[in-house]
Every structure is written in C-alpha cells, then in structure tokens.
Amino acid sequence: MLKVGLTGGIGAGKSEVSRLLASYGAVLIDADKIAREVVEPGTPGLSAVVEALGPEVLTAEGTLDRPKLGSIVFADPERLATLNAIVHPLVGARSMELEAAAGPDAVVVHDVPLLTENNLAGLYDLVAVVDASPETQLDRLVRLRGMTESEARARMAAQATREQRRAIADLVIDNEGPLEQLEPQVRKVWAELSRRAVAESGAS
C-alpha cells in the first residue's frame, strides 16, 4: 500500500486532481467529506459538538448550522480548539478504517487541504502538491467561485504559502494551464504512484 498526502492551495485544482486519481483507481480519502459525515444528525460527533458549543449551532431541522458554527469558532480560538478536539480524532479514526479496507497494493490518496499548515507530511509515504501561481488561484476564485477579490485574498492569506507547500512536496502537479493540460500530467503521476505501490507491497 502506498499512502499519498494530496494538498494544494485554494483554487489550485486539488479537487479535480482527486477526481482524476479516483477515476484511475486510487482509494480516495477526503478529509473534508469525512469531517461533514462525522457530524451528521444522529452521530455521536454531532451530540458532542452541541454539548460543547450549545444548541445554537443547530438549524431548526437539527442539522449542523455551518455558517453559524463558523461565526462562533472563528471568532474564538478556544472554541475552535474545542471543535477541533471533537472532530479531528473522529476524522482520523474514519480515515484509518477506510485505509485499512484498501488492498495491499492500493494507492490510498488522502485529500488534505491543510496538510502543510498542520505539519502532516510525515503521515504519508509521499506528498503530492497541486500547484498554481497566486495570480491563477485568485483569478479562479473570483471568476469561477464568485468571490470578491478581497475575500479570495483573505482565504489565500489564511493558508500556507506556495513556497511552503512546494518545500514538502515529493511530487508537484502543475495546474497553471487549462484542464486539458492537467489530465496527461495526472495520468503520469498515477503511473508513478501505481509503480511505487507495487514496489511497497513487494517490499513489506
């Protein structure tokens, strides 16, 4: 099994790379998606969040009110730490379950937006970074996601720099150009990851 940490700045195109790798046969473990699943209605995770942060984080339907939750925790570092202490272990445990279910020569891709920021590179056999210039990221966020320029710049500034991400990368996927230039690159990366996964399973 080969454990790959996949990351990239907002607007770099990491989701598209994840989608392509999964379509080639990678086992994709999406930290953001799992973080939503572990606090769905009826889960112990949601009960723990409500107990710690109060019933005002729920919508009238009993689901987590994400905008409300965000406004509470991002204004209060202590409450953010409380939330993370509940959610992160649940995400970690679910990720390990999914990883354990993969075959011995599988390529397991962990899609982790804040891999660089949280110093998680050591958890993976290798780190792949989807890379685009800040100008390209900004353009995509404004043009494709409808953000204002100041919103986009604030989101980018809250993340690691391009240089910090590249410093931990074993593989860099350049996504500066249009989508049709990305696919052949990701296919090449997939071939390399598959080769390494087979070598790993033979070595263990």
> How far is the first Cα of the chain from the last one, in angstroms, to the nearest whole number?
9
- Other residues' Cβ atoms within 10 Å of the Cβ of residue 48: 18
For residue 147, the Cα-to-chain-centroid distance in whole angstroms is: 20
- In SS3 terms, 117-150 reads as CCCCHHHCCEEEEEECCHHHHHHHHHHCCCCCHH
CB 35 within 8 A of CB 112: no
Q: Which residues contact 58 (CB under 8 A, 6 or more apart)?
A: 50, 64, 65
pLDDT mean across residues, the chain: 93
Each residue's pLDDT tens digit, 12-58:
999 999 999 999 999 999 988 999 999 999 999 999 999 999 999 99
Instruction: Tell whether the model's pLDDT for residue 158 goes beyond 90.
Output: no
DSSP-derived pairing of the beta strands 107-111 and 27-30: parallel
Write out the CATH class of domain 1-26+106-204: alpha beta
Q: How far is CA 68 from the centre of its chain?
A: 22
- Going from the C-alpha of 52 to that of each of 73, 91, 168, 185, the distances in angstroms are 12, 18, 35, 45
Listed in sequence order, the residues at least 6 apart from 124 whose beta carbon sits closer than 8 Å to its beta carbon are 3, 4, 5, 110
Q: Please state the domain extents for the chain.
A: 1-26+106-204, 37-104
Q: What is the mean pLDDT of residues 169-178?
A: 94
Mean pLDDT computed over 56-84: 91
